[in-house]
Amino acid sequence: MFFCQNLEHEGSSIVGFCLFADCQEPKSQFCVNCLINPQKHLNCRIDCKPFDKIDIILDLIIYKLDQFQEQADQNFEQFKCEYQKTIKNIQKEQHSLRRQPKTLKNKNLRNYLIILTEQRIGIQKQNRLNLRKKLSISG
Ligand SMILES: [Zn+2]
Ligand SMILES: [Zn+2]
């Protein structure tokens, strides 16, 4: 049990808090006698909350904070999803770009091999023809 800090309210127990940020009273706690005195908490009567009301207000604040956290979690999940999608796209792009030169090189190599083979066949044909000519001349 806490008692009012005002000397004239000695022994009077605290019943609530003034929640007004710019309260002019030296202490935010108040007793019943403080509330009876119209000079006390002159501009902040509406912010003088008894403890049970303060509990409700605290519950409300905790509930609001829970909601904020939930919202933040949702935002994070959404962001994570977008991030993963972006990373996947980048990796796909990288993969296809890495493969591109290989297929291009392979195509060129294939063409080169075809040309080389055709040339060799041509040379072989020519050689055979020459050999036949030589044989027919000598024969
Ligand atoms: Zn008091
Ligand atoms: Zn006050």
DSSP state of 13: B
- Nearest bound ligand to CA 27? 2
Q: Is 82 buried (19+), middle (13-18) or exposed (0-12) by CB count in 10 A?
A: exposed
Q: For residue 65, how far is its CA from the centre of ligand 2 (angstroms)? A: 25
Q: Which residues surround ligand 1, an ion (CB under 5 A)?
A: 4, 6, 9, 31, 33-34
Calpha distance 6→101 (Å, rounded): 86
Q: What is the pLDDT along the chain (139 residues), one digit of tens a residue?
A: 789 988 889 899 999 999 999 999 988 899 999 989 989 999 999 999 998 888 888 898 999 999 999 999 999 999 999 999 999 999 998 888 887 666 666 777 777 788 878 877 888 888 888 888 888 876 5
The three-point CA angle 8-16-29 to 5° equals 50
Q: For the whole model, what pTM was predicted? A: 0.45
